[in-house]
Amino acid sequence: MKLVISAIGRMKSGPEATLFEDYRQRFDGIGRNIGLGPLTLEEYDARGKGQSTESTLLLERVAADDHMIILDERGKSVPSCGFSDFLCDLRDDGTRCTRFLIGGADGHTGTVRQRANAMISFGKATWPHMMVRVMLAEQLYRAAAIASNHPYHRGN
């Protein structure tokens, strides 16, 4: 199952980009052995164009059969093992592509929320959007590690 992170804003070179790429490569290394991946990042520059334009940019690439998950502060907080099970269930159910949407500074519009198959949150704290990409990539890698019994995840 292909995984895509679609995000508003472009990541510049720096520590966040380096970390993201590290986790993306790790994910691809483990994921391909268990039918997850590749993981790709699509970025959209919508500076000053508003939430409506951001929504359009994000939604126009989502295919009708894509499973769409948005990162939203109103979303459900999912433990790592549960997230791994969720991804593997999608894969086992024949989902071809799962897209994770990260909105701009003002979040997602109601249109995006209505189209979403799921909303997840990384807690009540506000996180910089570039860090959210890194955190999501790490959780995807962790999910693949859990599914393949890799020692990276030591939790219960």
CATH number at residue 22: 3.40.1280.10
Task: Please tell me the predicted confidence (pLDDT) of residue 125.
Answer: 85
Residue 30 lies in a domain: yes
Q: Which domain holds residue 65?
A: 2-147
Count the alpha carbons within 13 Å of 2 in the hemisphere toward its beta carbon.
Answer: 12
Nearest to 27 by CA among 62, 66, 61, 1: 1
Task: Please tell me the predicted confidence (pLDDT) of residue 138.
Answer: 97
Residue 97 lies in a domain: yes
Residue 41 lies in a domain: yes
Task: Please tell me the predicted confidence (pLDDT) of residue 141.
Answer: 98
Number of domains within the chain: 1
**Segments in the chain below pLDDT 70:** 155-156
Task: Please tell me the predicted confidence (pLDDT) of residue 153.
Answer: 78
Task: Please tell me the predicted confidence (pLDDT) of residue 64.
Answer: 94
Task: Please tell me the predicted confidence (pLDDT) of residue 156.
Answer: 55
Buried b (16+ CB within 10 A) or exposed e, 28-45: bebbeebebbebebeebe
Residue 25 lies in a domain: yes
Q: Structure tokens of 128?
A: 């910089």
Task: Please tell me the predicted confidence (pLDDT) of residue 155.
Answer: 62
Residue 153 lies in a domain: no
Kindly report the pTM of this predicted structure: 0.94
Residue 77 lies in a domain: yes
